[in-house]
Amino acid sequence: MHAAGPRLPVVTPCELPDGIQLVYADDRGGRQVVAVDDAGLIDFGRTRPFRKPPAYRGQRNFPGWWWSATTRSHVVYESWLGRHHIIEADRDARIAGIAGKPFALTWPLKKRSVRHVPDLFCQTFDGRGIVTDCRPARRMDEDFRYKCAVTAAACQAAGWEFRLVSEPDPVWASNLRWLAGYRHPRFADAGIEELLIAALAQPGPLADAAGRAGDPIRVMPVVFHLLWLGRLTADLSRPLGNSTIVAVSADPLEAT
């Protein structure tokens, strides 16, 4: 579905620590504690982020809120890397819900308490839950890998999938950011879409197809919107431009 970044270590679930709990913020911001075995019952579409990242002068990360075309709401992120993987989820036609910083896992370890807040929770249309941790490959130290192993075990107990992700291919990421600028439904135009599909009966260069469908100034935003949705497809591992070969997608779920 997306271009690969640095190779990541395989996360093997460890034994679930005694006393582990999942804490989340309900729709009023109150903290609720549940056993991980019961976590699959939580509707993260109705909760608040467990943690909202602070903003202060001189900070080295870039937090913010992403407006999601999937949820028609804002999703919190703590870094540009986290934002990228929210964009990935927002474009995935299989995803029905996206929540940033959805919960914390807490457990005792010797004389201290450990807490870990995953970056992302996604709900698919077929009911699967996907928990994602984002971290640059160079910052995956032993402590973080241990927390990921515990998180993977907790997800297994809750019936969720766990993913560890890192930096994407930079060209792919740049193309996706560009297309994301056209994610809003206001860029849809059924009439122009019909003309584009006719113009692309055979795959061809992006600019040529837009020119055959009408005024490129009006048509190009629709092209980018359809590429975002996956109704048109192109090789996004290469820089997107006028000569990019575009085709009609047989299945938006398989679009690249």
Note the pLDDT tens digit of each residue in 94-129: 999 999 999 999 999 988 999 999 999 999 999 999
CA angle 85, 87, 91 (to 5 degrees): 120
Query: pLDDT at position 223, please?
Result: 97
Would you write out the chain's pLDDT as a tens digit for each of its 256 residues?
455 455 566 788 889 999 999 999 999 999 999 999 999 999 999 999 998 877 777 777 789 999 999 999 999 999 999 999 999 999 999 999 999 999 999 999 988 999 999 999 999 999 999 999 999 988 889 999 999 999 999 999 999 999 999 999 999 999 999 999 999 999 999 999 999 999 999 999 999 999 999 999 999 999 999 999 999 999 999 999 999 999 999 875 544 4
Pick the closest to residue 97 from 132, 72, 133 (CA basis).
72
Pick the closest to residue 132 from 67, 207, 75 (CA basis).
75
At 26, give phi and psi (nearest 5°). -75, -175
Domain ranges, ordered by start, for the chain:
21-165, 170-254
- 21-165 and 170-254 agree in CATH topology: no
| CB atoms closer than 10 angstroms to residue 195 | 17
Q: Which CATH number fits domain 170-254: 1.20.120, 3.40.50, 1.10.287, 1.10.10?
A: 1.10.10
Class of the CATH-defined domain 21-165:
alpha beta
DSSP string, 136-152: -GGG--HHHHHHHHHHH
Query: pLDDT at position 252, please?
Result: 58
CA–CA separation, 218 and 137 (whole Å)? 41
CA–CA separation, 138 and 151 (whole Å)? 20
CA–CA separation, 224 and 187 (whole Å)? 9
Query: Which of 168-171's residues contact partners 24+ apart within 8 Å by CB, and which partners?
Result: 168/2, 168/3, 168/4, 168/5, 168/84, 168/88, 169/3, 169/4, 169/5, 169/237, 171/3, 171/236, 171/237, 171/238, 171/239
Distance of CA 33 to the CA centre of its chain: 26
Write down the residue that tokens 């457990």 correspond to: 107
Distance of CA 245 to the CA centre of its chain: 26
**To 10 degrees, what angle do helices 216-229 and 190-199 make?**
90
**SS3 of the chain: helix, strand, coil, percent, to 5:** 35, 25, 40
Query: pLDDT at position 1, please?
Result: 43
Tokens for 226, please give them.
């359809």
CA–CA separation, 135 and 121 (whole Å)? 15
Q: Per-residue pLDDT tens for 36-60?
A: 999 999 999 999 999 887 777 777 7
